[in-house]
Amino acid sequence: MTPLTSPLPPPTAPLRLRPPRHRVERRAIGWWALRSLLGGGSVTALAVATALLAGPLTGPVRPWLWPATGLIAALALAHLLVVPLWRYRVHRWETTDDAVYTRAGWLWQESRVAPMSRVQTVDTTRGPLQRLFGLAGVTVTTASAAGPLVITGLDHERARALVTRLTESALATPGDAT
């Protein structure tokens, strides 16, 4: 039996991983806040409606219903005030001729690096709220079990230019993205 050997030559220079340099657009704070307001506001409104309707439909209001509604509203408000700023502080991205770098997350932060030779597709997304704030997202699908790299909160023109640059770079990079 022959020992297993690596088919790759040893690297000539040590690889230094670093966090991505670019922040998302500052307008992303407003976009994330509006999403939080709509989600938290909907849940809070549902809790209030339940508390208001519980008395007439089932007799006396359950004593825990209003405190639970207050807790839901407090959590929604905390989410609205903390999460958008935290996401802006954490989310980063960068592209080079060799790779795409992202960092995202809230409690669990994830840093990812995808070599250009692994890029399969590059897409943009612009939902109604993103369009309202002039933002877009870029999704870089790779040959990875971890799934695509997603960069949200970019200026829509910058996202368009990034997609063009990444597509050209991926096409010029040797490899079959598998």
Please state, in angstroms and rounded to a whole number, the distance separating the CA atoms of residues 166 and 124.
12
Distances (CA, A) of 65 to 33, 54, 62: 27, 9, 5
Contacts with 64 (C-beta within 8 Å, 6 or more apart), sequence order: none
Contact between 170 and 122 (Cβ < 8 Å): yes
DSSP H or E stretch at residue 41: helix 27-58
pTM > 0.85: yes or no:
no
Q: What pLDDT, in 10s, does the model give residues 34-65?
A: 999 999 999 999 999 988 887 665 566 677 88
Q: What pLDDT, in 10s, does the model give residues 53-106?
A: 876 655 666 778 888 999 999 999 999 999 999 999 999 999 988 899 999 987
Q: How many residues appear in the chain? A: 178
Please state, in angstroms and rounded to a whole number, the distance separating the CA atoms of residues 45 and 76.
11
